[in-house]
Amino acid sequence: MIKRILAIFVFLVLTLAAYNQNIRVGLFHNFQIKTLVFKPLKGSFFLENDQGFKEKIKGSDVIYITLVGKQLSVWGIEKHMGLSQSLKITPKKEGSLFSLEPAFPALPKRRYEGKLEIDIHPDNKLSIINEVEFEHYVAAVVEAESGTRALKELYKSQAIISRTYALNHIDRHENENYNLCDDVHCQVYKGVRTQNAKIAAAVIETKGVVITDMNMQLITAAFHSNSGGYTINSEDVWTAAMPYLRGKKDPYWSDLHNSEWTDTIKMDEWLEFLDHIGVRLPSNYDPKKLFAFKQNTRVRNAVIANQNVPLKNMRTHFKLRSTFFSMYPENDKIILKGRGYGHGVGLAQEGAMKMAKAGKTFSEIINFYYHNVQLINIDSTTYLTRLLNE
Residues 37 and 125 in one domain: yes
Residues 44 and 123 in one domain: yes
Would you say residue 20 lies in a domain? no
- List of E strands, 180-305: 180-181, 209-212, 223-224, 260-266, 301-304
Mean pLDDT computed over 347-361: 97
User: Which residues 6+ apart lie within 8 Å of 174 measured at CB?
Assistant: none
Q: pLDDT higher for 344 or 5?
A: 344
User: Which residues 6+ apart lie within 8 Å of 307 measured at CB?
Assistant: 279, 280
- Strands 347-348, 223-224: pairing kind: parallel
To 10 degrees, what angle do helices 152-168 and 2-20 make?
110
Would you say residue 384 lies in a domain? yes
Q: CA–CA distance from 353 to each of 142, 146, 159, 254, 342 (Å)? A: 13, 9, 13, 12, 16
Question: How many domains does the chain fold into?
Answer: 3
Q: What percent of the chain has pLDDT over 90?
A: 84
Residues 53 and 75 in one domain: yes
Q: Facing residues of 125 across strands?
A: 121
Q: What percent of the chain has pLDDT over 70?
A: 91
Q: pLDDT at position 13, please?
A: 57
Q: pLDDT at position 378, please?
A: 84
Q: How far is it, in rounded angstroms, from Cα 68 to Cα 66?
A: 6
Residues 154 and 109 in one domain: no
Residue 374, pLDDT above cutoff 90: yes
Q: How far is it, in rounded angstroms, from Cα 377 to Cα 363?
A: 13
Residues 213 and 125 in one domain: no
Residue 211, pLDDT above cutoff 60: yes
Mean pLDDT computed over 356-377: 97
Give the confidence band of 381 by pLDDT, cuts at 50, 70, 90.
Answer: very low
Q: Facing residues of 339 across strands?
A: 260
Q: pLDDT at position 314, please?
A: 97
Would you say residue 117 lies in a domain? yes
Q: pLDDT at position 222, please?
A: 93
Residues 98 and 169 in one domain: no
Domain encompassing residue 117: 25-132
Residues 155 and 125 in one domain: no
- The phi, psi pair for 142, rounded to 5°, reads -55, -45
Residues 62 and 122 in one domain: yes
Coil, helix or strand at residue 73: strand
The model carries a pTM of 0.87
Residues 214 and 305 in one domain: no
